[in-house]
Amino acid sequence: MNEKELQSYLAEASRDVEQALDRLLPMRQISPEAAIYFAMRYSLFGGGKRLRPALFFAALEACGAKRDAYLDVAAALEMIHTASLIHDDMPEMDDDDLRRGRPSCHKVYGPAMALLAGDGLFIHAFAVLSRPLPGAAPERQLAAVREIALRSGLGGMVAGQAAEWDNMTRPVDQGLLEYISRGKTSALLIAAVKAAGLLAGADGEKLQALDDYGLHAGLAFQIIDDVLDVEGDDATLGKPAGSDEERGLVTFASLLGCDEARRQAEAEAEAAVAALAVFGAEADTLRAFPPFFVSRRH
């Protein structure tokens, strides 16, 4: 699959997941809590590449399952990701005013409502995930939900963010930086592809391959994120460039320099593709993502 084909795959995945999001989280304008619906939907429908849902769909394809029965799972992954970005941008964390090319949630709705919007999306995702999925064996669904919960929380994203936050003023080496990125970024990618494998009944060897793929693809993604923070501009990125340096954050770009960081991102992308050796052509869509993570401009 070439980059143009991947772009149209991403566009189709976005359409599917946005329809599901709209159905699972409809506007409730006439209610005392209307403000949280405005805030959640503002962030959910504010653009975004929808990479986690697209990776989930591609992993289903690799494991021989169709996406139609699992659209709600893709939507839940996007809710969790959006929740994490709302909280990440808040004044108490990265204090970033721009996200996906628009003012961050707390700039529009205030910090209290942004905090609640993140909480609301995070919890609603699990309300959605725990609804019986027609056609999915309950034990497979339970394993997928558990995978997503662990990787978004203390076995992944929350832990990575906490490790980043608590070590900001200490000397950070590449090992610690990788630990943080495995949690902050790789974990939810692993959750997306492994949840697909678990739902589709993939065997242990394939599940391990998906795990390795998500780990390396996530590292490639995060390294380039750090490089783009140095090399990119606000308009292209849709978020403030240079914010890592402004916060004095040690990143792959500041530690290695942009050229070496790019080389390491390429190596991680190759490792992600290599992890899929156990799959045949049915994983070609998955194979197209890591090189795109490296070549992307935003």
The closest alpha carbon to 72, from 21, 12, 9, belongs to 21
10 binds ligand FPP (CB under 6 A): no
* Residue 3, both tokens: 């980059």
Would you say 95 or 270 has its CB closer to Mg ion?
95
How far is the C-alpha of 170 from the C-alpha of 275, rounded, in Å?
A: 34
Q: Residue written as tokens 């501009």?
A: 233
Closest separation in Å from C-beta 251 to ligand FPP: 8
Contact 200, 282 (CB under 8 A): no
Would you say 87 or 216 has its CB closer to ligand FPP?
87
80 binds ligand FPP (CB under 6 A): yes
Most distant CA pair in the chain: distance in Å? 54
Query: Mask 78-107, x = binds Mg ion (CB under 5 A)?
Result: ----------x-----x-------------
Which partner in Mg ion, ligand FPP, none is near 117 (CB below 5 to 8 A by kind)?
Answer: none
How far is the C-alpha of 153 from the C-alpha of 173, rounded, in Å?
A: 24
Closest separation in Å from C-beta 96 to Mg ion: 6
Distance, first Cα to last Cα, the chain = 20
Which partner in Mg ion, ligand FPP, none is near 83 (CB below 5 to 8 A by kind)?
Answer: ligand FPP
The CA R_g of the chain, rounded to the nearest whole Å, is 18
Would you say 78 or 88 has its CB closer to Mg ion?
88
Residue ranges of alpha helices (H) inside the chain are: 3-24, 34-44, 51-62, 71-89, 105-109, 111-129, 138-152, 157-166, 174-181, 187-200, 204-231, 234-237, 243-246, 252-256, 258-274, 284-295
Closest separation in Å from C-beta 100 to ligand FPP: 9
By CB under 6 A, name the one of 78, 88, 147, 212 that touches ligand FPP.
Answer: 88
Which partner in ligand FPP, Mg ion, none is near 106 (CB below 5 to 8 A by kind)?
Answer: none
By CB under 6 A, name the one of 14, 43, 84, 141 that touches ligand FPP.
Answer: 84
158 binds ligand FPP (CB under 6 A): yes
Closest separation in Å from C-beta 208 to ligand FPP: 24
Which residues on neighbouring strands pair with residue 98, listed in sequence order? Answer: 103
Closest separation in Å from C-beta 229 to Mg ion: 9
The closest alpha carbon to 58, from 1, 128, 136, belongs to 1
Site residues for ligand FPP, 91-130, by CB under 6 A, read: 94, 96, 118, 122
The closest alpha carbon to 47, from 21, 73, 76, 9, belongs to 21
Contact window for ligand FPP (CB under 6 A) among 2-10, 38-46, 80-88, 204-212: 80-88
Contact 199, 144 (CB under 8 A): yes
CB atoms within 10 A of CB 206: 20
Count residues contacting ligand FPP (CB under 6 A)?
Answer: 17
How far is the C-alpha of 207 from the C-alpha of 205, rounded, in Å?
A: 5
By CB under 6 A, name the one of 83, 128, 198, 202 that touches ligand FPP.
Answer: 83
Would you say 237 or 286 has its CB closer to Mg ion?
237
Which partner in ligand FPP, Mg ion, none is near 287 (CB below 5 to 8 A by kind)?
Answer: none
- The residues that touch ligand FPP, with contacts defined as CB under 6 A, are 80, 83-84, 87-88, 94, 96, 118, 122, 152, 157-158, 161, 184-185, 225, 239
- Residues lying near Mg ion in the complex (CB under 5 A): 88, 94
